[in-house]
Amino acid sequence: MPSDQSTWLIAVPQDGDAEGLLPEITTKLSQQSKAYSRDTIAELGIPSFKTGTLDSLIALSEELPKQDTFFTSVVAKTVDTLRNLLNNDPSKLSQHILVNERAVDDYLFKGWKWNEGRYGVQRSLREIVDLLNKEVASIDNVMKAKLNNYNLVKGSLVQMQRKKTGNLSVRSLVDIVSKEHIINESEYLDTMIVAVPNNLNKEWNSKYERLTSMVVPRSSISITSDSEYTLYSVVVFKRVRDEFTQKCRENKFIVRDFVFSEDEIVKQKEELAMADTTEKELWTELLRLSRTNFSESFQLLVHLKVVRLFVESVLRYGLPSNYVGLAIKPEPKTTKKALALLTDHFGYLSPRSGRPKKVAGGNEDFAGEYQTLMEQEYYDFVLFEVPWIVN
């Protein structure tokens, strides 16, 4: 059964009063639910493509499902990119999930037409399908490259920002330790920076002078503290630095690897500012590209669906290759009834559609020679689905 979370694209042979089909179906469905109207049911123009040979149609019928899956995945990935860029904000997302600056439903239900300028029907079906594939593959490759580039820059920025956050045992000390906390250019002395758990502050103050020899008495200065650690500076002779570090480790005091450098402070600030600016620029570029590529890839997906409708219609109903298409947005609560109504309405096509019929002996007579090519659930009408992008 087709999903109640997708738009149904239907094709049937153009027999008799083709113009009367849309109002007739609309009237019947609207009697089931008020949700059905001109905004949810529309004619879908199916061009009279060049049919080509039977072998070429069969080959296309076998290939198109895989291509359909690929096209759908490209659309879905583009939506996911937009969703992530916009922090999963539905209201903002709806402003970018547009096709030619129109809502998706407006694109499908308000005058959809085959893009003759880009995919002229004078081409063979194979040429059209190859062109559609080429364009979707190009979109996919560009999106992958741009997204990868953005993620690298974003990851670098997050890493830099992370150094400015966290507790005093891990965060960058560039903006915390200043020049007055450090003894510079001493031949014998070295200033060490130590993060001490707050519950060990008393132990630090009572022990640090005796952790090793050659620790300058009363040299420990509290620089700052947070909810977990207090940061101290302490002066030792350079020759005992390694030993002092080991003794701190044994007592759960964390020696921070830090060398004061005004040049390094300036460099880190500049790198952070540059990374932040680059990330914002790439975010804007990727958002704009994703918006454009969603519009393009969704149109390509619908065009591929129409090609599938045509190919399967020719294989099922034969020539002449004149078919009527409908786009229907099912109302979830009445989906089964809507499908039953369509099945009943188009029941007259059963002799031509190849629907299997039970005959004596329990065997099945496949009137449609190529029915085995159809992967979708079988109806007297041809049906393919366009998944709803955002529910």
Number of domains in the chain: 2
User: Looking at residue 329, what is its pLDDT?
Assistant: 93
Low-confidence ranges of the chain (pLDDT < 70): 16-18, 352-377, 390-391
Looking at the structure, tell me whether residues 224 and 345 fall in a common domain: no
Looking at the structure, tell me whether residues 255 and 284 fall in a common domain: no
Looking at the structure, tell me whether residues 217 and 355 fall in a common domain: no
Decide if 359 is inside a domain: yes
Decide if 145 is inside a domain: yes
* Domain containing residue 310: CATH number: 1.20.1460.10
For residues 388 and 103, what is the distance between their CA atoms, to the nearest angstrom?
12
Interior/surface letters 169-205, b for 16+ CB within 10 angstroms, e for the rest: bebbbbebbeeebbeeeeeeebbbbbbbbeeeeeebe
Looking at the structure, tell me whether residues 146 and 295 fall in a common domain: yes
Looking at the structure, tell me whether residues 284 and 140 fall in a common domain: yes
- Please give the residue range of the domain that contains residue 191: 179-259
Q: Which residues contact 110 (CB under 8 A, 6 or more apart)?
A: 42, 102
Looking at the structure, tell me whether residues 33 and 119 fall in a common domain: yes
Nearest to 371 by CA among 351, 390, 356: 356
Could you report the per-residue pLDDT of 222-256, keeping only the tens digit for each?
999 999 999 999 999 999 999 999 999 999 999 99
Decide if 160 is inside a domain: no
Interior/surface letters 255-289, b for 16+ CB within 10 angstroms, e for the rest: bbebebeeeebeebeeebeebeebbeebeeebbeb
Looking at the structure, tell me whether residues 109 and 237 fall in a common domain: no
Looking at the structure, tell me whether residues 309 and 231 fall in a common domain: no
Decide if 162 is inside a domain: no
Looking at the structure, tell me whether residues 227 and 302 fall in a common domain: no
Decide if 211 is inside a domain: yes
User: Looking at residue 32, what is its pLDDT?
Assistant: 84
Looking at the structure, tell me whether residues 250 and 350 fall in a common domain: no
* Domain containing residue 190: CATH number: 3.30.70.100
pTM of the full predicted structure?
A: 0.78
Looking at the structure, tell me whether residues 140 and 32 fall in a common domain: yes
CB 323 within 8 A of CB 69: no
